[in-house]
Structure 1
């Protein structure tokens, strides 16, 4: 654990500039990432770089599906006054209080608070702050969190609106619970990795032959847990689930994901027709904000052994509080780029641990696997009662752009050891995939293979400084 003398001693640097870039990948061309409500996404990232007076830099990511990435990028740029000129040590001394001020800025708060574009934007900045801190301390983010005392972790969290669920005193007690076994639990995670499941076989736009080929590939790599997208056409779902069950057998776990497609009653009726395939969970069956509907769906599907998983599009810690306390989720899915980044995720992990609801993070995207492995390592070492039924999503694409990409072997994340949050992009990635003037995008536009109607409208250049 960190001693009080060494805590934050290396962070006495000033942030002197913030830049943000719009980075996109044309995943829609192969229908990678396709689901019932997002048929042709272009996985994209707003890439935040913090520069300091020491020369050290921090790199942060927040994630979108293409169009709209420029909106988040402009929002990040508009938030620069909240971070540029700040001392990093002062931010981390009581980061929960600092985040309260950021999320409740007197005018910007009207656009949120703590959700939507504002939440994504603050998340990108906070993730960059953590990468910067970890580089200055020479540790990966997960290790900083694991080595922190309960009091230090609690100081990172804004408990506003949460104390009816969990207080700071309760959080400290929970973090003390496994303190004596931390070294053994850490060794287990470092030696054996973090369990995964994969969605890469089951995107909605994939045909049956591709499902068979990818199922065979991932089985050979040691995967035993698979997820398939559903929700647009019942007969297609039945056919595709039959196909994947024929490939992976009945001894392996199968999850399904509707990506918010259905109403409450429709979700219940549709899932009852899929019970023969024995799905472990239905993910995002309805609106990600509808706590009551999730509770009703959970109760209706419980007799069939089907749980409800949700959280990847959950806007903030207050929504998570309601899902967890109400029984509306049986599997808690955090997302490393939503809410307010690392700190708000910590609040959710504490609440999930209180209710002993397994955390199974959402990943994939651009940089989500890279970041979420740090969060799950902390959760498993410091908070989780078990490793059973606690998988982290893995999608085997878009890792090459990073200088320290996430690595999975034998269906387990290898815990990173490089300093930082695993979020630094290679220079060639920025050169080729910056939107809309990167090399790859220019070639696609010129060839006629890709048309973006939004480019016909006037766009502000980035960064937009006054």
Structure 2
């Protein structure tokens, strides 16, 4: 009998939590100039006292809208037996994303899918805690048939079937224990975006480059896209700081038209960026394909995925050779179940996955996914890295930890998503202690709408 067989889900609770990162330009880029890193934080409680925590990332305003979407889905989760969910997870995922009335305001994208991600992430955290394993190890220990059963293959069987997915996983069984040991001993390579926010001064960028070089980092990402000459100056500044033996990536956060992206990046090609990230609309698959083709002779890849709506769009990006670096995001599409589908398609079509982790709790979650990929699917770390930003980790009970520029493999049970109670009390919006203080001091003005 499984540990979840007698547990009924009795409550799905949500919180609107926001951190005032805009005050220091942390997270700033060409499109998102003043983000306040935020999340909808979900707690799923069971009749036996066990609980799971999940979240979905936002940039401030609108977090309350996602919270309303979570509340609209509670009736699909509360009262369910946890074991029934986990033993039929693929079926449950489809029920959650296909409720006949809620589906109309998606389907499987936007606000409703962000809400799905928060709920699904909390369920995986619950499952892993019940099994007393970190999520990456829970995933790695599942038999291929069981893991594949958690995925909804609707709309993607023209690229990968259940049978093909099972076969891909079975091929990597050899050497699995050695890769687990390697992860525990050495961790997983990281790159940093912390040096390159668009609102940072030149002096701050220089100081941060030195700081992260001293920490062992060899890959750095810079935000670009507002002013070409300024981008050239900042690329030169970073190259002078990190040298030419280290990797540089650039990220435009959707700011350009297609032809503009091609010409702009050509002007930055002398700085040898490994990739240009989100060069145009995140929905423009053919546009990304055109950019990829134009930049291929320059050996500059295209990276995208953090705003990709669902597995169907990922499928088309991969089919069209429109991304050379696939950036899954732990909270943009519908949680782990759907993300597994993207990893499997990327594996079949030979595209590297390098997760996006610029946001509250994203580092905590994507580390599990990429470590599972190494252990169970791709079997390699070569040319693969996980983004790291050094923000809000102190708010979590089991924060993501990076040593020698590598993520340390989590050992605590769960998805590393449980926040400290003090974080909730201080940053609950708008009545957390810190928000009430900032409103009183005139640092922020509260506007409900």
| Common fold by TM > 0.5 | yes
- What is the CA–CA distance in structure 1 between the aligned matches of 2:50 and 2:379, rounded to whole Å? 38
Match of 1:112 in 2: 106
Task: Measure the CA separation in 1 of the matches of 2:206 and 2:105.
Answer: 45
Task: State the 1:11 CA deviation.
Answer: 4.4
Establish whether residue 178 from structure 1 lines up as the match of residue 172 from structure 2: yes
The answer to whether residue 26 in structure 2 is matched with residue 32 in structure 1 is yes
- Which residue in the other structure is 1:257 paired with? 251
2:445 to 427, 432, 451: 451
Q: Distance in 1 between matches of 2:297 and 2:201?
A: 32
Which whole-Å CA distance do the structure 1 matches of 2:408 and 2:381 have between them?
A: 15
Tell me the equivalent position of 1:84.
78
Deviations 1:217-266 (A, max 9, x none): 00000000000000011011011111000000000000000000011000
Structure 1 equivalent of residue 161 of structure 2: 167
Aligned length: 449
Match among 405, 418, 421 for residue 411 of structure 1:
405
Please give the alpha-carbon distance, in whole angstroms, between the structure 1 residues aligned to 2:358 and 2:255: 20
Once the two structures are TM-superposed, the CA of residue 364 in structure 1 deviates from its matched residue by: 2.8
2:227 is the counterpart of 1:233:
yes
Conserved? CA contact 1:15–1:87, under 8 Å: yes
Residue 308 of structure 2 aligns to a residue whose secondary structure is coil
Structure 2 stretches of 5 or more lacking a match?
A: none
Q: What RMSD over aligned residues (CA atoms) do the two structures have, in Å?
A: 0.9
Deviation by residue 1:392-422 (Cα, 9 ceiling, x = unmatched): 0000110001000010000000010001111
- Give the Cα separation in 1 of the matches to 2:65 and 2:283: 22
Per the alignment, residue 137 of structure 1 pairs with 131
Any idea what SS the aligned residue of 2:249 has? strand
SS at match of 1:159: coil
State which of 267, 271, 283 in structure 2 corresponds to 1:273.
Answer: 267
Asked whether the 8 Å contact 1:63–1:365 carries over to 2, the reply is yes
- Aligned-residue offset at 1:451: 2.3
Q: Measure, in 1, the Cα distance between the counterparts of 2:213 and 2:391.
A: 17
Equivalent of residue 183 in structure 2, options 165, 183, 189: 189
**TM-score between both structures, scaled by the size of structure 2:** 0.99
Q: How does 1:24-423 map to 2 (within 5 A)?
A: 24-423=18-417
1:97-122 CA distances to partner (integer Å, 9 max, x unpaired)? 11111111100000011100011000
Question: d(CA) in 2 for partners of 1:357 and 1:186?
Answer: 23
Superposed CA deviations along residues 259-296 of structure 1, whole A, max 9, x for unmatched, are: 00011000000000000100000000001111100000
- Within 1, Cα distance between the matches of 2:276 and 2:43? 37
4+ residue segments displaced more than 2 Å: 8-12
Cα distance in 2 for partners of 1:291, 1:402 equals: 36
* CA distance in 1 between partners of 2:33 and 2:311 (Å): 28
Query: Secondary structure of 1:175's partner?
Result: helix
Unmatched runs of 5 consecutive residues or more in structure 1: 1-5, 458-466
Q: How has the CA–CA distance of structure 1 residues 11 and 409 changed in structure 2, closer, same or farther, with 3 Å as cutoff?
A: farther
Change (3 A) 1:377 1:254: same
Conservation of the 8 A alpha-carbon contact between 1:356 and 1:385: no
What is the DSSP-based 3-state SS (H/G/I as helix, E as strand, rest coil) of the residue aligned with 2:394? coil
Contact (CA 8 Å) 1:126, 1:342: kept in 2 or not?
A: yes
What is the TM-score with the length of structure 1 in the denominator?
0.95
CA displacement 1:291-326 (0-9 Å, x = unmatched): 100000000000001000000010000000000111
After superposition, give the CA deviation of every residue in 1:117-155 in whole Å (9 maximum; x if it has no partner): 011000000000011111111111111100011100110
Cα distance in 2 for residues equivalent to 1:303 and 1:385: 29
Question: How far apart are residue 12 of structure 1 and its match?
Answer: 3.4
Q: Which residue of 2 aligns with 1:462?
A: none
Correspondent of 2:12 among 7, 13, 18: 18
**Does the CA contact (< 8 Å) of 2:373 and 2:379 recur in 1?**
no
Q: Distance in 1 between matches of 2:372 and 2:393?
A: 22
* Structure 1 residue 10: Cα displacement: 4.0
Compute the displacement of 1:389 (Å): 1.1
CA contact (8 A) 1:333 1:359 kept: yes
